[in-house]
Amino acid sequence: MSKRIVIDPVTRIEGHAKISIFVDASGNVAAAEFHVVEFRGFEKFCEGRPYTEMPAITQRICGICPISHTLASAKAGDALMAVRIPPAADKLRRLLNLGQIVQSHALSFFHLSAPDFLLGWETAPAQRNVFGLISANAGLARAGIRLRQFGQEIIEILAGQKIHPAWAVPGGVRSPLSQEGRERIRAWLPEAFATTQVAFDLWKKTMETHQREIQIFGNFPSLFMGLVAPDGTWEHHGGKLRFTDSSGSIIADQIEVSRYAEFIGEAVQNSSYLKSPYYLPLGFPAGIYRVGPLARLNVCEQMGVPKADAELKQFKKLGCGAVTSSFLYHYARLIEILAALEYIERSLDDAELSSDCLRADAGINSLRGVGASEAPRGTLFHDYTVDRNGLLQKVNLIVSTGQNNLAMNQTVAQIARHYVKGGAGAIPEPMLNRIEHGIRCYDPCLSCSTHAVGQMPLHVRLIAPDGKVLGEVTRG
């Protein structure tokens, strides 16, 4: 029996973006700007609210990575209470974050990015989406969707609901892992490992045929930042900050997250609502750094789990010092999925996850608290200043997509330079798609929703030195 799937209207737009490409007198690309044209205002309207509400309010920033916000917020709350949360609560939060990494990375790889490199850049936009992937390879698409579901199920098992759960709270978490939940996760793991292996096989073939993309999709020197454990092992929820440069050298290490402001400056550009963080000691814009899977794998020395460590060795061979191509974010994402699965498997035998000692109780003992966690897209900071009664006076959020803003600009410029020559004013569709993909490598929140059903709302303008708009394409 045939079934009809109707998506009407297509309105799931998590973000709107605009790109301006500046062309010099000879018609070649001089620079590019990636503009985020929406304004959210969370930092402002949270003022005056009790800190206990923040994990629930701030996770509404995103429907794809609410867990990252709720965890960073809960951590900032721990800091305001000046408590060390129970060990079981920390382990449970970690397990939640691993579920989040698996689901978000699976979404990025299978739903958002794979249609480009598996179906081809020149494929008609109507087919170049997850439905096109289903037509071309239903088994792969189903496996990808199921892998994402696995991550979502972990979140639901722990926190009661897949999206926006009120579970992580200042001081700990609300409930332990049930025995039934533990067994459900255990039973699903072999399938998740198998799907990840399929993705690795596909990716390795893709790398062979996509050498040009590796060369031009955001391949430039920059700094990298991420959390690492004291011994330099990959971290995702805990640890301290490390910066490395493109030669792989460590330039700052084991920085307490509460000291982030000494190392990260935030530049505001008139062209975008997205702030542009930079590494403060090098200034703006020389302090460009990248965060997220590529950066985390560049800054860490090992993953801490065997299968992912074997892959990390392969990955590290792709760069001289650091791996600098943003196209390899996809590879890094797969390695992180594998590591997350191994860590999940390891945690399932830990009896402490069933503990009922889960929440530290305290009032306000510090008027400022910073929490950081590795979101799938990169390091996320929540910085709260409160009064004696715990009402927010000031909120500063540094989100991962923002930290990649400068890198995304460079990526767009690099791709545009390659494909726009002689500036006749026309922007061919495959170029538009390649630019989109350059952005998509970073898996920014903007692309979360719309691209999954075909199109990222995008507005590209080609601008001459005198400010005249030579060409313009709008979609979405």
Give min distance, CB of 128 to other proteins, in A: 35
On whether the CB atoms of residues 119 and 128 are closer than 8 A, the answer is: yes
| Residue closer to other proteins (CB basis): 56 or 216 | 56
On whether the CB atoms of residues 462 and 472 are closer than 8 A, the answer is: yes
Number of residues engaging other proteins in binding (CB under 8 A): 19
Q: Which of 144, 170, 369, 378 binds other proteins (CB under 8 A)?
A: 170
- Cα–Cα dist 295/215, whole Å: 17
Which positions from 238 through 297 interact with other proteins, judged by CB under 8 A?
none
| Residue closer to other proteins (CB basis): 58 or 129 | 58
Is residue 11 near other proteins by the rule CB under 8 A?
no
Q: Write the DSSP assignment of 187-211 as a string of letters.
A: HHHHHHHHHHHHHHHHHHHHHHH-H
Is residue 136 near other proteins by the rule CB under 8 A?
no
Q: Which of 13, 37, 136, 166 binds other proteins (CB under 8 A)?
A: 166
Is residue 367 near other proteins by the rule CB under 8 A?
no
Is residue 43 near other proteins by the rule CB under 8 A?
no
- Cα–Cα dist 204/200, whole Å: 6
| Residue closer to other proteins (CB basis): 159 or 427 | 159
Give min distance, CB of 13 to other proteins, in A: 20
At 244, phi and psi to the nearest 5? -125, 160
- Cα–Cα dist 301/299, whole Å: 7
Give min distance, CB of 327 to other proteins, in A: 38
CA distances from 347 to 92, 161, 301, 343, 353 (A): 9, 21, 22, 6, 8
Q: Write the DSSP assignment of 144-170 as a string of letters.
A: HHHHHHHHHHHHHHHHSSSSS-S-EET
Q: How many CA atoms lie within 13 A of 158 on its CB side?
A: 30
Which positions from 431 through 460 interact with other proteins, judged by CB under 8 A?
none
On whether the CB atoms of residues 32 and 464 are closer than 8 A, the answer is: no
| Residue closer to other proteins (CB basis): 343 or 384 | 384
Tell which residue, 18, 28, 35, has the closest CA to residue 273.
35
Give min distance, CB of 391 to other proteins, in A: 6
Is residue 389 near other proteins by the rule CB under 8 A?
yes
On whether the CB atoms of residues 409 and 416 are closer than 8 A, the answer is: no
Convert residues 47-86 into a mask of x (bound to other proteins by CB under 8 A) and - (unbound): -xxx-xx-xxx--x--------------------------
Beta bridge partners of 465: none
- Cα–Cα dist 217/290, whole Å: 14
Contacting range for other proteins; rule: CB under 8 A; set: 113-121, 168-176, 224-232, 369-377: 168-176
- Cα–Cα dist 219/413, whole Å: 11
Q: Which of 7, 82, 391, 469 binds other proteins (CB under 8 A)?
A: 391
**What is the residue whose two structure tokens read 């018609």?**
27
Give min distance, CB of 460 to other proteins, in A: 35
| Residue closer to other proteins (CB basis): 169 or 412 | 169
Beta bridge partners of 75: none
Helix axis angle, 87-106 to 138-159, nearest 10°: 160
Q: Which amino acid is at 442?
A: Y
Give min distance, CB of 153 to other proteins, in A: 21
Secondary structure element (H or E) that encloses residue 294, with its range: helix 293-299
| Residue closer to other proteins (CB basis): 70 or 196 | 70
Q: Which of 16, 142, 164, 459 binds other proteins (CB under 8 A)?
A: 164
Give min distance, CB of 220 to other proteins, in A: 41
| Residue closer to other proteins (CB basis): 51 or 234 | 51
- Cα–Cα dist 66/165, whole Å: 8
Give min distance, CB of 178 to other proteins, in A: 19
Alpha helix ranges (H) inside 46-178:
54-58, 66-81, 87-106, 114-119, 130-136, 138-159
Give min distance, CB of 237 to other proteins, in A: 19
Give min distance, CB of 53 to other proteins, in A: 5
Is residue 169 near other proteins by the rule CB under 8 A?
yes
Give min distance, CB of 60 to other proteins, in A: 7
Burial bucket for residue 135 (CB in 10 Å: 0-12, 13-18, 19+): exposed
Give the binding site for other proteins (CB under 8 A). 48-50, 52-53, 55-57, 60, 164, 166, 169-170, 174, 361, 363, 389-391
